[in-house]
């Protein structure tokens, strides 16, 4: 069995600033320095999948990996300002230049957006507003429900809004 890792790299550009709502403007300048001003970076997102090479000679179809990275991350943040928005503003679509609906701001938190895709193993979609993850989809039993909630919390959500349906016919394979 040949096990190997396939890595795809995509680049995107986004703007952000580091500022906590708990601080005054002066405190934010002191805490975060130049990062408290709106500025931008060229980011590189590297996604690695690991597994057995299948009969087609692939760990995963590289085109499907690229599409997943674009849908889950790059299309949401490329040439946008990444900042906190509330659900009302996100749904109004008023700020097309702002990355919505993701409330995270630092590089580490952007990476968590990609790891949310682990949820698709349970056929669960996660939408995050103000750090509340709304989980929608089907799971086969209570254990899967708890696993999906745990993954959402590990991915950075503070609270989980569970709208999952129990369906014993739903397999563990989910959509991925």
Partner 1 sequence: MTGHTVAVTRRFTFSAAHRYGRPEWSDAENRARFGAVAAIHGHTYTLEVTLRGPIDPVTGMVVDLEELKAVVGETVLARFDHAFINDDPAFPPGVLPTTENLVRVVWDLLVAKLGAERLAGLRLWEDPTLYVDYRGEA
Q: Could you list the residues that contact partner 1 (CB under 8 A)?
A: 1-10, 53, 56-59, 62-63
Q: Shortest gap between Cβ of 70 and partner 1 (angstroms)?
A: 12
Which residue, chain included where needed, has tokens 């097309």? 96
Q: Evaluate the CA torsion angle 176, 14, 112, 54 in order and state its sign.
A: positive
Closest CA to 160 of 170, 22, 139: 139
Please answer whether residues 100 and 147 qualify as being in contact, where contact means their C-beta atoms are separated by less than 8 angstroms: no
The smaller minimum CB distance to partner 1, of residues 51 and 101, is found at 51
Q: Shortest gap between Cβ of 13 and partner 1 (angstroms)?
A: 16
Distance between CA atoms of residues 85 and 131, nearest Å:
10
Question: What are the structure tokens assigned to 137, written together?
Answer: 């989809």
Q: Shortest gap between Cβ of 108 and partner 1 (angstroms)?
A: 23
The smaller minimum CB distance to partner 1, of residues 60 and 127, is found at 60
Q: Shortest gap between Cβ of 57 and partner 1 (angstroms)?
A: 4
- DSSP character at residue 96: T
The smaller minimum CB distance to partner 1, of residues 44 and 143, is found at 44
The smaller minimum CB distance to partner 1, of residues 1 and 22, is found at 1
Q: Any residues with CB less than 8 A from the CB of 29 and at least 6 apart, and which?
A: 36
């Amino acid at each position: 069995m040949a096990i190997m890792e396939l890595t795809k790299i995509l680049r995107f550009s986004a703007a952000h600033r580091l500022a906590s709502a708990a601080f005054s403007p002066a405190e934010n300048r002191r805490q975060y320095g130049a990062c408290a001003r709106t500025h931008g970076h060229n980011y590189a997102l590297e996604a690695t999948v690991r597994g057995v090479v299948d009969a087609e000679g692939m760990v995963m179809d590289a085109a499907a990996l690229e599409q997943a990275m674009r849908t889950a991350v790059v299309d949401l943040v490329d040439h946008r300002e990444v900042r906190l928005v509330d659900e009302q503003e996100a749904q109004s679509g008023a700020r097309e230049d702002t990355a919505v609906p993701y409330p995270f701001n630092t590089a580490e938190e952007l990476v968590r957006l990609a790891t949310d895709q682990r949820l698709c193993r349970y056929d669960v979609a996660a939408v995050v507003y103000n750090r509340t993850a709304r989980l929608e989809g089907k799971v086969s039993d209570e254990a899967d429900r708890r696993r999906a909630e745990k993954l959402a919390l590990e991915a950075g959500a503070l609270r989980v809004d569970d709208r999952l349906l129990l369906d014993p016919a739903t397999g563990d394979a989910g959509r991925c």
